Amino acid sequence: MPTRPTYRTARERVAARRAALGGGPPRRRRRSCTPFVLAALLIFALVGTLVFALVNWASGTLQGFEQADPRRPGAEGDTTNLPASLREPFNVLLIGLDSRDSPEDGIRSDTLILVHVHPSGRWAGMLALPRDSMVQIPNLGIRKINTAYTYGYNNAATLYGAGTEPTAAGGAMAAETVAAFLNLPVDYIAQVDFNGFQRVIDTLGGLTLDVERPLLDPSYPTADYGYERLYIPAGLQVMDGATALRFARSRHSTSDFDRAARQQQVLRALLNDLRARDLLSQASLLPDLARSLETSVSTTLPLRDLETLQGLAELAQALDPEAILTLSLNPNDVRIVAEDGSNIYWEPNDVAAQVARLLAGPEGSSALVRIQILNGTNTQGLAGRVSARLSAQGFNVNSPADAPVRTGETRLIDYSGHPETLGRLATTLGLNPGQVYASPPADAPPAPYQSDIVLLLGADFQEGQP
């Protein structure tokens, strides 16, 4: 049996895989930004910014990284708005831009993610906002949320005064729109270009990612405005930058809501890799990373303040990937009151509930995790009795219901990524590990409406367990 080759770095593994497949380096793609790239700014801002500062502090090039905020004239470089010693929670709007080669295509925000950072609690939360969401935009009325950036970009001087950069104005208008929609202040803005992010992944030697299900996209867009077939197999693998971007960008494989979940999965993987590598101790990587960040990220965070940079880096090192709460506006959590083509009108009270879950954090949101008990047995009233017992123990339980089909096996399935609550439930119910699923198995039914964790009661369930 031939011996299995060993690789010193993930980059070598990627290179070997390319060679085995007979492929060369990835083709250059037109300049556009994927939605998940903007999520990576959370990592860049908390780790990469210090890298950038360490390399370029003496030359003063941080001025090209920091961007003025037209909502607060004269506030560029001002640290008074930054939470004192990074103790108070703050919100950052992450914006990924879709910049087209031809001027008539314009520029727009492809996806928006509101990040809530809780420094003292050492956790962060993300709320993804689909670009087809219909919201109130100042001066325009009800429009798609991604129109806000374009409107600000095209009317920079009119909206924010002469000399305002279009990208800064676009970010400011997007922030104003999101703040009003979520009834939540947006303290800082960050904009990301995907080219630099792709280079960061390649500089690090690839991204370790466990793909749960094969991804097949028969119509993935190419650089020449055509399409190609994209297939990514299931399993643990090391992706180069181009592959990671395709994994996150694919639209035709499933849905935009599933794509948001993939974006957040990539973010967790990136944070895991950065922490495992002890990035700041690898001086040989810093110049390449700094160049990638310089050309791909702009933010209103006052990064020229060294104390701020050090605090952000320390926070990034302390962040537990499992303590990053990932939420989105999606039909399972937020009711759609109307649809007009691709336009989505969300139920305001459900949107407010998602914001409450974001602010509650990983631990506090456990009380908000919605548990659905489904009776898959012939025992009448079983789901109701189990629901009552769990509710009495402090769990947030939906009204019990019957399962679509009868089943012999009891299964506890987490559909929304709540490991702490899942573990508490498994212990309370006395289930064995084979009955507990941290993510839906391939044969799992769709999640019931507004349910995060589902307990499917089978014939093997013993009622005395809770």
- Domain 369-457 fold is Alpha-Beta Plaits (3.30.70)
Q: Answer yes or no: are the C-beta atoms of 398 and 450 closer than 8 Å.
A: yes
pLDDT of residue 61: 43
Q: Answer yes or no: are the C-beta atoms of 226 and 27 closer than 8 Å.
A: no
Single-letter amino acid, residue 338: A
Burial environment of residue 323 by CB neighbours within 10 A (0 to 12, 13 to 18, 19 or more): middle
How many other C-beta atoms are found inside a 10 Å radius of the C-beta of residue 349? 9
Please, which residues bridge with residue 117 across strands?
A: 90, 124
Dihedral sign (CA 15, 17, 21, 26): negative
The total number of residues shown for the chain amounts to: 466
Instruction: Please state the pTM of the whole predicted model.
Output: 0.66
Q: Residues near 74 by Cβ (< 8 Å), separated by ≥ 6?
A: none
Single-letter amino acid, residue 334: V
Q: Name the pairing type of β-strands 401-402 and 188-192.
A: unpaired
Please, which residues bridge with residue 128 across strands?
A: 113, 328
pLDDT string in tens for the chain (466-residue length):
434 344 334 444 434 444 443 444 333 333 333 333 333 444 444 444 444 444 443 334 444 556 777 877 655 444 444 445 466 888 999 887 766 544 445 576 777 889 898 887 778 888 989 888 999 999 999 999 999 999 999 999 999 999 999 989 999 999 999 999 999 999 999 887 766 667 778 877 899 998 988 999 998 887 677 888 999 999 999 999 889 888 887 877 677 777 777 877 787 787 777 667 665 555 556 566 666 666 677 788 776 666 666 666 666 666 666 667 888 898 878 889 999 988 999 999 889 988 988 888 877 666 678 899 999 999 999 999 999 888 877 788 998 999 988 999 999 999 887 887 888 898 889 899 999 998 888 888 888 888 889 999 999 998 765 4
Q: To which residue do tokens 């994209």 refer?
A: 230
Q: Largest Cα–Cα distance in the chain?
A: 74
pLDDT of residue 15: 45
- Domain 35-364 fold is Aminopeptidase (3.40.630)
Closest CA to 92 of 81, 84, 101: 81
pLDDT of residue 123: 83
Q: Domain residues of the chain, as ranges?
A: 35-364, 369-457
pLDDT of residue 109: 73
User: Which tokens hold the place of 110?
Assistant: 């492809």
Q: Inter-axis angle of helices 286-294 and 194-203, to 10 degrees?
A: 170
User: Which tokens hold the place of 378?
Assistant: 């012939």
What is the C-alpha to C-alpha distance for residues 313 and 335, in angstroms, rounded to an integer? Answer: 38
